[in-house]
Amino acid sequence: MAEPLPDLIEEIVADNGSDDIQAVAEQLLPAEDVEIATLLESLPVEERMSLWQVLPDVRKLDVLVEMRSDPREVLISATPDDKWSAILLGIDAEDLLELMDSLPSKLLDLAIQALDEQQEAYFRDATQFPDEQVGHWISHEMLVLPLNAKVRDGLRLIRRNVPDHCDSIFLVNRSGHFSAAVKLTSVFGAPEHLPLVELTEESMPVIKGTDDSTTASLLVQRSGYAALPVIDDNNKLLGRHDILSASELVNENYERQVMATAGMDEDEDLFAPVAKSARNRALWLGINLLTAFMASWFIGLFEATLQQVVALAVLMPVVASMGGIAGSQTLTLIVRGLALGQITSANLKALMTKELKVGGVNGVIWALVIGIVAFMWFSDPLLGVVICLAIFLNILAAALAGVVLPVILEKLKIDPALSGSVILTTVTDIVGFVAFLGLGSLFLL
Amino acid sequence: MAEPLPDLIEEIVADNGSDDIQAVAEQLLPAEDVEIATLLESLPVEERMSLWQVLPDVRKLDVLVEMRSDPREVLISATPDDKWSAILLGIDAEDLLELMDSLPSKLLDLAIQALDEQQEAYFRDATQFPDEQVGHWISHEMLVLPLNAKVRDGLRLIRRNVPDHCDSIFLVNRSGHFSAAVKLTSVFGAPEHLPLVELTEESMPVIKGTDDSTTASLLVQRSGYAALPVIDDNNKLLGRHDILSASELVNENYERQVMATAGMDEDEDLFAPVAKSARNRALWLGINLLTAFMASWFIGLFEATLQQVVALAVLMPVVASMGGIAGSQTLTLIVRGLALGQITSANLKALMTKELKVGGVNGVIWALVIGIVAFMWFSDPLLGVVICLAIFLNILAAALAGVVLPVILEKLKIDPALSGSVILTTVTDIVGFVAFLGLGSLFLL
């Protein structure tokens, strides 16, 4: 890019709609699509629209493909109908698979019509797979030869055109079944008449179209190859999964996890329209409100106690907070373990024992610290004992819930990264308040 | 791998130390290093040790390289001194750079001695760069030719040996300065006597050794090339950054973010010894305890009010929770924007305006809902008004803090993903409690 991203943002926002936007657009011509996409995402809506309008139509499709859905949809809905046939010129199946969820049905039809016959077939094939399966994301640009091809055929093919991130030729039999892969670099030194099959890479893993897209992508990243072949259940070669799409899918999966901790998704737009953004976030606020009211209801059971021992009300946040933090530490560790496939019924018991022990150690230490502080603050030894016990119990409950909850959610096919923390803090809030106020009612009245 | 990971874990844990561990180890021989590393990380400490002991010494180094530091260090410290010279056989600079922080100084010296002269030079070069700079992580296996080389020299070089994830030959001048890159696939079709420099890839980006390692890695992922050249300040070619290391660094960075939300780091071991794990987590619990006590102290200012209007104590968690959730949504969005370089002083104001508007909309809606519920629950219209105002104020404060806090932390070079949430909830707790109890003291006494 001509200038770094922050400078461009500054320039555009400072100009604010003056005709210099045209100059910025010209500067952007040598930039990569993904850089322009990131720039557009970084701009307030008005400036985003101005830049979008002056961007050459031939770049628009590739830039849209690189954007997150929410900001992308803002631009799509602001683009007049008569522009689309120019924008969709030269669209291929992979572009459309990225865009399809953002396009209103009228535009989707238009886009499908813009595909050539081959690309439309690829598009139909890919949509057979839901987007959590790798078959949805495969590339069809690959080097394929029949099983009996010779080195000289390989060389001829390579000289014609090698796609990015492609380091192998795939050999198929007459029915199109995948048989073997040969690295381009083995082809070069070899005698021209040698059958390619004698250069087979024995260790290349093969992916099934129905494999989970994140798992398959991690496999590609680890394999040492630029791309792996993707086959269907009958061993027919469907396409390949290259390390660039693999990295994009892995990154997206991580971003999803990070955003899920706050109840958002990875497509959230920095400059979403206020109404849309408010609506996106309202659900999460509502769910958390329900759980907060639930905690309040449990506190309400002890109104009489609170009236007499107001120190309990003062210290409630401490009990809730310690449980919440301890629980979220265990939860985060277990959620990662589940994502990496490291947690099974076999090691779950050992894991629970370990987390309970860790909770026990930290429980005892912090319970004592907090008990002593509370005793000194309110000059009430019994209050110290009550909070000490409540903290200990709550940290243990947090450890238990932190292990068990995500495992149960995963079994129920609910994403533990999204819903784990809200359920966990509900548990620790309620256990904490009931233990603290309950023990308080017993000992302090 | 012969069997999927969960089955292997099951098998080993079920056998629990019987001599069948030898059989499992033999099954593992064809597995990739990273698969064995993941398996070891998934095993409780005792089983981990048994499997480690029966693993052939020639695999141990590569497996250690693939492990996270915490579980790796458990194995390192359990390996007897006399084993190390066998394990370190054939170590190279890249292996040692991965391992160095896990090795006690005696072993580090031993490992440095095990490097050959060339690798030791690479190692010294890389350690000139701190590990957040990409120069620390470069690979030296590359195809390099002088600037005046011909296609035939290129072909000869390629036939000898092409490293993984290498799709270009780099051309250097007599002083070793990087001059141009040529794609292997352009070399193949070309006439033998053509100077390679005529096939130069004009669009290949170049990385500096001092560039931030995540930024440089994202650039590699996006570039379409299998690796990019890395140069020093004087344009001297240092090595290359390939898409595999790039993906590993990007994944690690995401994992760091996910773990940081719970105050842990990405090296945390699923089966860390209890004492170590408790110690790792105690600091975060302690910091959060301080903030919880701070919130309690503010509540304590209103003891008299709480005694008279116990409903305030009952509803406190609702006020705190709504502020915390709203704030963490804004915070998460801004932290991601900062990580992507999308937030600058130019768009910060627009961003704050938008977040305050979103907070305003959700603030009004949820304040009314909660006000009405509180009014009905406690049959007290004034209590409804008080909580309604407090919620509105707290959600606005949360939006403001969610934008401003991470930007300030980033300026202070403090990781906002780690410390942002604890500071944010402290702010929303205190604003929430003071607004709620303060308004309560004004209106309800």
pLDDT tens by residue, B226-260: 999 999 999 999 999 999 899 999 999 999 988 98
Task: Determine the distance in angstroms separating the CA of B266 from the nearest CA of chain A, rounded to an integer.
Answer: 9
pLDDT tens by residue, A418-440: 889 999 999 999 999 999 999 99
Q: What number is the average pLDDT over the span B76-90? A: 93
Amino acid at B145: L
Instruction: Nearest by CB to A347, from B9, B278, B341: name it.
Output: B9
Q: Give me chain A's average pLDDT, please.
A: 92
The larger pLDDT score, comparing residue A70 to residue A188, is at A70
Q: What does each C-alpha distance from B353 to A38, A274, B325, B405 come to in angstroms?
A: 21, 10, 19, 15
Give contacts of A13 with chain B, Cβ < 8 Å: 346-347, 350
- Report DSSP state, residue B340: T
Bridge partners for A208 per DSSP: A231
Binned at pLDDT 50, 70 and 90, residue B3 comes out as low
Residue whose C-alpha is closest to residue B392's, from A298, A285, A299: A285
What pLDDT is recorded for position A234?
A: 94
Residue contact A244–B244, C-beta within 8 A: no
Q: What does each C-alpha distance from A260 to A214, B66, B341 come to in angstroms?
A: 17, 28, 21
Task: Determine the distance in angstroms separating the CA of A254 from the nearest CA of chain B, rounded to an integer.
Answer: 6
Task: State how far the Cα of B390 lies from the Cα of B367, in Å rounded to an integer.
Answer: 8
Report the Cα–Cα distance between both ends of chain B, in Å, rounded. 71
Binned at pLDDT 50, 70 and 90, residue A52 comes out as very high
Give contacts of A428 with chain B, Cβ < 8 Å: none
- For residue A406, the tally of other CB atoms under 10 A from its CB is 30
Give contacts of A224 with chain B, Cβ < 8 Å: 164-165, 244
CATH architecture, domain defined by A143-260 = Roll (3.10)
Answer yes or no: is pLDDT of A118 > 90. Answer: yes
Q: What number is the average pLDDT over the span A66-88? A: 93
Task: Determine the distance in angstroms separating the CA of A390 from the nearest CA of chain B, rounded to an integer.
Answer: 15
Contact A43, B347 (CB under 8 A): yes
pLDDT tens by residue, B104-162: 999 999 999 999 999 999 999 999 999 999 999 999 999 999 999 999 999 999 888 88
- Cα dihedral across residues A150, A152, A153, A159: positive or negative: positive
Answer yes or no: is pLDDT of B189 > 80. Answer: no
Binned at pLDDT 50, 70 and 90, residue A2 comes out as very low
Domain boundaries, chain B: 5-130, 143-260, 274-444
Q: Give me chain B's average pLDDT, please.
A: 92
What pLDDT is recorded for position A10?
A: 79
Percent of chain B whose pLDDT exceeds 70: 98
What pLDDT is recorded for position A3?
A: 65
What pLDDT is recorded for position A18?
A: 59
For domain A5-129, which CATH number applies: 2.40.110.20, 2.30.130.40, 3.60.9.10, 1.25.60.10?
Answer: 1.25.60.10
Answer yes or no: is pLDDT of B1 > 50. Answer: no
Question: Which residues fall within 8 angstroms of residue B114, CB to CB, at 6 or more apart?
Answer: B85, B88, B89, B91
Q: What number is the average pLDDT over the span B385-408? A: 97
Residue contact B289–A366, C-beta within 8 A: yes
Binned at pLDDT 50, 70 and 90, residue A312 comes out as very high
Interface-testing mutation among A74, A151, A203, A221, with chain B (most B C-beta atoms within 10 A): A221
pLDDT tens by residue, A409-423: 999 999 898 889 999
Task: Determine the distance in angstroms separating the CA of B112 from the nearest CA of chain A, rounded to an integer.
Answer: 27
What pLDDT is recorded for position A30?
A: 83
Count of residues in chain B: 445
Q: How many CA atoms lie within 13 A of A100 on its CB side?
A: 16
- For residue B357, the tally of other CB atoms under 10 A from its CB is 16
Element (H, E) at B428: helix B416-444
- Domain at B5-130: CATH code: 1.25.60.10
- For residue A55, the tally of other CB atoms under 10 A from its CB is 18
Answer yes or no: is pLDDT of A66 > 70. Answer: yes
Instruction: Nearest by CB to A254, from B251, B321, B326: name it.
Output: B251
Interface-testing mutation among B168, B316, B376, B395, with chain A (most A C-beta atoms within 10 A): B316
pLDDT tens by residue, B258-277: 898 888 988 889 999 899 99
Task: State how far the Cα of A319 lies from the Cα of A387, in Å rounded to an integer.
Answer: 8
Residue contact A270–B167, C-beta within 8 A: no
Interface-testing mutation among A1, A45, A347, A352, with chain B (most B C-beta atoms within 10 A): A347
Paired tokens of A152 = 């000289």
Question: Which residues fall within 8 angstroms of residue B333, CB to CB, at 6 or more apart?
Answer: A259, A262, A264, A268, A270, B402
What pLDDT is recorded for position B307?
A: 93
Answer yes or no: is pLDDT of B2 > 70. Answer: no
Answer yes or no: is pLDDT of B185 > 90. Answer: no
What pLDDT is recorded for position A17?
A: 53
Q: What number is the average pLDDT over the span B376-393? A: 97
Residue whose C-alpha is closest to residue A186's, from A171, A165, A168, A163: A168
- For residue A124, the tally of other CB atoms under 10 A from its CB is 12
Interface-testing mutation among A221, A325, A331, A340, with chain B (most B C-beta atoms within 10 A): A325
What pLDDT is recorded for position B170?
A: 97
Element (H, E) at B430: helix B416-444
Residue contact B317–A331, C-beta within 8 A: no
B303: closest chain A residue by CA: A310
Contact B418, B284 (CB under 8 A): no
Task: State how far the Cα of A358 lies from the Cα of A146, in Å rounded to an integer.
Answer: 59
Instruction: Nearest by CB to B322, from A257, A268, A292: name it.
Output: A292
Contact A18, A52 (CB under 8 A): no
Answer yes or no: is pLDDT of A1 > 50. Answer: no
Instruction: Nearest by CB to A281, from B261, B342, B362: name it.
Output: B362
Residue contact B275–A361, C-beta within 8 A: yes
Tell how strand A237-242 and strand B143-146 pair up: unpaired
Q: What number is the average pLDDT over the span A12-24? A: 71
- Residue B379: strand, helix, or coil: coil
Paired tokens of B282 = 């105690």
Answer yes or no: is pLDDT of B353 > 80. Answer: yes
Residue contact B282–A362, C-beta within 8 A: yes
Contact B181, B170 (CB under 8 A): yes
Task: Determine the distance in angstroms separating the CA of A410 from the nearest CA of chain B, rounded to an integer.
Answer: 15
pLDDT tens by residue, A361-404: 999 999 999 999 999 999 999 999 999 999 999 999 999 999 99
What pLDDT is recorded for position B266?
A: 86
Q: What number is the average pLDDT over the span B3-10? A: 76
Residue whose C-alpha is closest to residue A407's, from A321, A347, A362: A347
HEC letters along chain A: CCCCHHHHHHHHHHHCCCCCHHHHHHHHCCCCHHHHHHHHHHCCHHHHHHHHHHCCHHHHHHHHHHCCHHHHHHHHHCCCHHHHHHHCCCCCHHHHHHHHHHCCHHHHHHHHHHCCHHHHHHHHHHHCCCCCEHHHHCECCCEEEECCCEHHHHHHHHHHCCCCCCCEEEEECCCCEEEEEEEHHHHHHCCCCCEHHHHCCCCCCCEECCCEHHHHHHHHHHHCCCEEEEECCCCEEEEEEEHHHHHHHHHHHHHHHHHHCCCCCCCCCCCCCHHHHHHHHHHHHHHHHHHHHHHHHHHHCCHHHHHHCHHHHHHHHHHHHHHHHHHHHHHHHHHHHHHCCCCCHHHHHHHHHHHHHHHHHHHHHHHHHHHHHHHHHHCCHHHHHHHHHHHHHHHHHHHHHHHHHHHHHHHCCCCHHHHHHHHHHHHHHHHHHHHHHHHHHHHHC
Q: CA B258, A291, A421 angle in degrees (round to 5)?
A: 15
What pLDDT is recorded for position A262?
A: 87
Residue contact B337–A42, C-beta within 8 A: yes
Give contacts of B250 with chain A, Cβ < 8 Å: 247, 250-251
Interface-testing mutation among A141, A151, A294, A362, with chain B (most B C-beta atoms within 10 A): A362
Residue contact A274–B317, C-beta within 8 A: no
Residue whose C-alpha is closest to residue A295's, from A443, A429, A442: A429
Answer yes or no: is pLDDT of A296 > 50. Answer: yes
Residue contact B318–A293, C-beta within 8 A: yes
Residue contact B329–A362, C-beta within 8 A: no
- Cα dihedral across residues B237, B224, B68, A326: positive or negative: positive
Percent of chain A whose pLDDT exceeds 70: 98
A164: closest chain B residue by CA: B224
Q: What number is the average pLDDT over the span B321-349? A: 92
Residue contact B264–A333, C-beta within 8 A: yes
Residue contact A38–B341, C-beta within 8 A: yes
What pLDDT is recorded for position A224?
A: 83
Binned at pLDDT 50, 70 and 90, residue B23 comes out as confident
Give contacts of A204 with chain B, Cβ < 8 Å: none
Binned at pLDDT 50, 70 and 90, residue A15 comes out as low
Domain A274-444 has CATH 1.10.357.20: yes
Residue contact B310–A306, C-beta within 8 A: yes
